[in-house]
């Protein structure tokens, strides 16, 4: 059994290399930097078509395809990876689009079941697959607990009473969405639901809101409405914790929203200093909201 210690109430394997199965966005690199700062050996398995510039990675990188199950497992064994973080955005592919290797062909029946149901089913199945191979899957918040949003105001701007009412409504909607394994975010303005998140992701959700408001000439004037992000009820914290970053703030500002409410203790803030600076400059609030699961 691997040596372990407790972090954020969860046992994290310490021996061997930490692998990061990395999709798009800044989160994989932030997690890698945090792990290395703590003295951990790190190796990134960069998913083709999603992970960014490998030259910017602070540790060794091996490119992998989503259909290269055998190649991923070979890299895990070769690099002595004993714990794996799954981080970053990946669009769900169709099996016909995957370039399957021999390892994937052996696992084809399981791959087919991945495409059924929502993201929770998919990610839970992936966790079980790696754990069956002897690799512990750990959450990004276990490696970088400082990324978690706390409760209360983040930045200089605070929500108004109208914003507070929208936040309450938004969390009710996002919780219902999550219970159905649909999405993690909603946009509410003056009690009216402008949009909810499905497979397209939060960026596209905010762009959709901006287009809606542009069509109605409502991108100018007083900022109204809120974006809410929360974890799904009963969600496995090891994968797909909701995340916001500077880009989220930029898109919320472009949609003329008043601010962003996040599920305190369940949402990751990537590049926090830049995120807060952008929100302050745009006059947007960002706040952590306790919300019973």
* pLDDT confidence bin for 14, thresholds 50/70/90: low
* pLDDT confidence bin for 101, thresholds 50/70/90: very low
Token digits for 191?
A: 């009690």
Q: Which of 40-49, 117-126, 273-282 has the lowest mean pLDDT?
A: 117-126
C-alpha–C-alpha distance, residues 16 and 125, integer Å? 24
One domain for residues 73 and 177: no
What CATH number corresponds to the domain at position 81? 3.40.50.20
One domain for residues 134 and 185: no
Q: Which of 33-42, 102-111, 147-156, 234-243 has the lowest mean pLDDT?
A: 102-111
One domain for residues 194 and 64: no
Domain stop point among 107, 123, 143: 143
Token digits for 38?
A: 């703590």
Domain stop point among 143, 163, 194: 143
Average pLDDT over residues 74-95: 82
Q: Could you give the angle at the alpha carbon of 178 between the alpha carbons of 177 and 182, nearest 5°?
A: 65
* pLDDT confidence bin for 69, thresholds 50/70/90: confident
One domain for residues 161 and 262: yes
Q: Return the beta strands (E) in 88-182 as ranges.
A: 136-138, 152-154
Exposure class string for 24-41: b at 16+ Cβ within 10 A, else e: bbbbbbbbbebbeeeebb
Domain stop point among 83, 112, 143: 143
pLDDT at 126 over 50: yes
- What is the spatial order of strands in the sheet that 192-196 belongs to? 152-154, 285-289, 259-263, 226-229, 185-189, 192-196
One domain for residues 8 and 137: yes
Token digits for 249?
A: 């703030």
What CATH number corresponds to the domain at position 238? 3.40.140.80
One domain for residues 133 and 157: no
pLDDT over 90 percentage in the chain = 58
What is the domain range of residue 21?
4-143
pLDDT in tens, 168-180: 999 999 999 999 8
pLDDT at 162 over 60: yes
Average pLDDT over residues 164-189: 94
pLDDT at 261 over 90: yes
Model confidence, pTM: 0.83
C-alpha–C-alpha distance, residues 278 and 288, integer Å? 17
Q: Which residues contact 52 (CB under 8 A, 6 or more apart)?
A: 24, 29
Residues in the chain: 293
Instruction: Residue 140: name the closest of 267, 261, 278 by CA.
Output: 267
Q: Give the total number of structural domains in the chain.
A: 2
């Amino acid at each position: 059994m691997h040596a372990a210690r407790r972090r954020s109430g969860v046992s994290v394997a310490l021996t061997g290399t930490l692998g990061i199965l990395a999709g798009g966005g800044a989160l994989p690199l932030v997690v890698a930097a945090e792990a290395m700062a703590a003295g951990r050996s790190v190796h990134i398995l960069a998913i083709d078509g999603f992970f960014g510039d490998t030259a910017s990675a602070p540790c060794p990188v091996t490119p992998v395809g989503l259909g290269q199950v055998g190649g991923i497992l070979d890299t895990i064994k070769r690099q002595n990876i004993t714990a794996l973080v799954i981080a970053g955005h990946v669009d769900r592919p169709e099996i016909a689009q995957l370039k399957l290797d021999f390892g994937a062909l052996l696992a084809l029946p399981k791959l087919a079941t991945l495409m059924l149901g929502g993201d929770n089913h998919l990610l839970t199945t992936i966790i079980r697959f790696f754990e069956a191979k002897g690799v512990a899957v750990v959450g990004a918040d276990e490696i970088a607990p400082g990324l978690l949003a706390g409760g209360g105001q983040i930045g200089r701007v605070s929500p108004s009473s109208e914003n507070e009412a929208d936040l309450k409504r938004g969390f009710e909607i996002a919780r219902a969405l999550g219970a159905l394994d649909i999405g993690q975010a909603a946009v509410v303005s003056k009690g009216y639901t402008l949009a909810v998140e499905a497979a397209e992701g939060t960026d596209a959700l905010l762009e959709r809101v901006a287009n809606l408001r542009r069509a109605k000439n409502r991108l100018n004037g007083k900022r109204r409405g809120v974006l809410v992000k929360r974890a799904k009820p009963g969600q496995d914290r090891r994968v797909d914790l909701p995340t916001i970053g500077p880009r989220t703030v930029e898109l919320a500002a472009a949609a003329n929203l008043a601010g962003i409410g996040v599920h305190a203790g369940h949402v990751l803030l990537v590049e926090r200093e830049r995120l807060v600076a952008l929100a302050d400059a745009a006059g947007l609030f960002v706040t952590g909201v306790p919300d019973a699961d």
